[in-house]
Amino acid sequence: MQFQEKNPNIQWPNECMRIRCMGHELSLAECKIHYQEPVAEDTAVAVAKCYKETPGECKKFICANGKCLINGKPCNGVDDCGDNSDEMCCQKCRGQAFLCKSGVCIPRYTIKDGIRDCLGGEDEQDEKNGTKTKQTEKLFFDPMSEIRKIRTSTEDQLQCGVPNKEYVYKQEDDTTSHSRRKRLVGGEEALPTQIQWQVAIQDEGTIHCGGAYLGGCWVLTAAHCVRPKPKSFRIKFSLWKKHRKQSTTDSIPVKNIIIHHEYNAQNYANDIALVQLEELNLSDKCMQDNPAVRAVCVPWSTQQFQPNDTCTISGWGRDREGKSAAILKWANVTIISDCQNYYKDRFLPGMECAGDLEGKVDSCQGDSGGPLVCTDASGLSYVWGIVSWGDKCGEPNHPGVYTKVAHYFDWIRFHTGWPAVTKFNQ
């Protein structure tokens, strides 16, 4: 990015985007972007030089997203790849970058800034306590075991991706045994407070869709589930039986609905929306603390999970006979590659396929907007997809199609600005 006076020999556009950055952002997507404005004759302009793939074999670092890192260097605390893969699995960091115990290098200016950037929180710990990691620290022989050890002692500090274990298997007072339930559309009925980031979207008193709680005052859902009329909606947390609240259920009014500006209702392109909740009176919170509600993490890279990985879907969808589920259900599905083979040109960028090609497990009508959640090797859960569309629910060779959340990371980050949506360790 460079600033320069307008050269009269260059054909400049009549309008430019006005962007305000504070200096700590890692990309323009994190800055506040305003609408286009006319460019005055004496106005200095900034020229953004975009990355272009060089032909031939990459002779330097290859990022997880396929980008060839030519100018930048790995493990220097700077996200040159765009998916932060050049700052992972580091034995030590270059320059002044700080090494997290998980092997991630973060910028020095993020140390003690009040935001937890390292998985273990060592970037916010005092050096006098002897807990601050030195950047010369050696790589752990078993890094995943070390990460699990860190998480065990710091789960209460994590802002997303870890459910309240005391409530995962908690049963409703008037509920009998749940040791084994009838199979429904390849799935099982959930326990009352098992899926703690699942929400129900109530539209004028009726629930047709689900969503995922991101934390703060934000819920993620499908664009086709909502419309720009916030007063018509309420978000229900910790709902188990579709038509009956339980002791942990909260019902929150909606303040704002942000539908992706390129959403296409005809082909479900960019089928994603954010729901902002109303704050409580004289508070920046939207609900009282609820032990049965936890946020799910937002994935930053489209490479975090791969085909054949097993993930979980949940919702109150219909079964093969068209009957609506009265109780929240869940099922395991597999991420499927080459979805163009099944849906041809209907499968667009920003979409993901998951399910069972034999037709045993699938999301159906009524599950829309609900989360496809994948858990990494260290036990942290991410909302990898949003139930979007599909043909012939539960039939062979017709996998469910989901909005791929990582594809929209910058869009989510831009609109929410929520600190937990970070590119470092979340």
Question: In CATH, what number is assigned to the domain containing residue 345?
Answer: 2.40.10.10
Give CA–CA dist 99/2, Å, rounded: 30
Lowest mean per-residue pLDDT among 11-25, 55-69, 286-300, 337-351: 11-25
Band of the pLDDT at 131, cuts 50, 70, 90? Answer: very low
**Does residue 413 lie within any of the structural domains?**
no
Residue 22 has pLDDT above 70, yes or no: no
List the Cα angle 219/368/236 in 5-degree steps.
45
Residue 225 has pLDDT above 70, yes or no: yes
Percent of the chain with pLDDT over 90: 36
Residues 318 and 250 in one domain: no
Count of structural domains within the chain: 4
Lowest mean per-residue pLDDT among 104-118, 213-227, 308-322: 308-322
Q: Which residues contact 176 (CB under 8 A, 6 or more apart)?
A: none
Residue 173 has pLDDT above 80, yes or no: no
Q: Identify the pLDDT of residue 2.
A: 44
Lowest mean per-residue pLDDT among 256-260, 263-267, 387-391: 387-391
Residue 313 has pLDDT above 70, yes or no: yes
**Does residue 316 lie within any of the structural domains?**
yes
**Does residue 148 lie within any of the structural domains?**
yes
User: Is pTM, for the whole model, over 0.85?
Assistant: no
Residues 34 and 90 in one domain: no
Calculate mean pLDDT across residues 229-233.
95
**Does residue 317 lie within any of the structural domains?**
yes
Band of the pLDDT at 394, cuts 50, 70, 90? Answer: low
- Cα dist. 265→58, 221, 260, 328 in Å? 39, 14, 11, 27
Lowest mean per-residue pLDDT among 111-115, 193-197, 239-243: 111-115
Residues 247 and 279 in one domain: yes
Residues 214 and 246 in one domain: yes
Q: Identify the pLDDT of residue 211.
A: 96
**Does residue 82 lie within any of the structural domains?**
yes
**Does residue 140 lie within any of the structural domains?**
yes
Residues 317 and 278 in one domain: no
Residue 115 has pLDDT above 90, yes or no: no
Calculate mean pLDDT across residues 322-346.
86
Residues 206 and 248 in one domain: yes
> What amino acid occupies position 399?
P
Tell how far CA 332 is from the center of its chain: 19
From 80, 86, 271, 356, the catalytic residue = 271
Beta bridge partners of 20: 32
Residues 67 and 42 in one domain: no
271 is catalytic: yes
Residues 280 and 318 in one domain: no
- What phi, psi does 232 have (nearest 5°)? -85, -10
Band of the pLDDT at 1, cuts 50, 70, 90? Answer: very low
Residues in the chain: 426
Question: Token digits for 417?
Answer: 């600005």
From 368, 381, 388, 398, the catalytic residue = 368
Lowest mean per-residue pLDDT among 249-253, 324-328, 330-334, 371-375: 324-328
**Does residue 207 lie within any of the structural domains?**
yes
- 177 vs 230 pLDDT, higher one: 230
224 is catalytic: yes
Lowest mean per-residue pLDDT among 165-169, 176-180, 214-218, 411-415: 176-180
Residues 91 and 133 in one domain: yes
Residues 226 and 259 in one domain: yes
Residues 290 and 196 in one domain: yes
Count of alpha carbons within 13 angstroms of residue 314, beta-carbon side: 29
Calculate mean pLDDT across residues 328-334.
90
Residue 393 has pLDDT above 80, yes or no: no
Q: If you average pLDDT over every residue of the chain, what do you get?
A: 78
Rg (CA), the chain: 23
For residue 272, what are the domain limits?
191-295
Most confident of 3-12, 65-74, 245-254, 324-333: 245-254
**Does residue 183 lie within any of the structural domains?**
no
Calculate mean pLDDT across residues 301-326.
80
From 123, 224, 301, 381, the catalytic residue = 224
Residues 384 and 322 in one domain: yes
Residue 417 has pLDDT above 50, yes or no: yes
- Cα dist. 344→282, 338, 341, 364, 387 in Å? 52, 10, 6, 20, 19
Q: Identify the pLDDT of residue 41.
A: 67
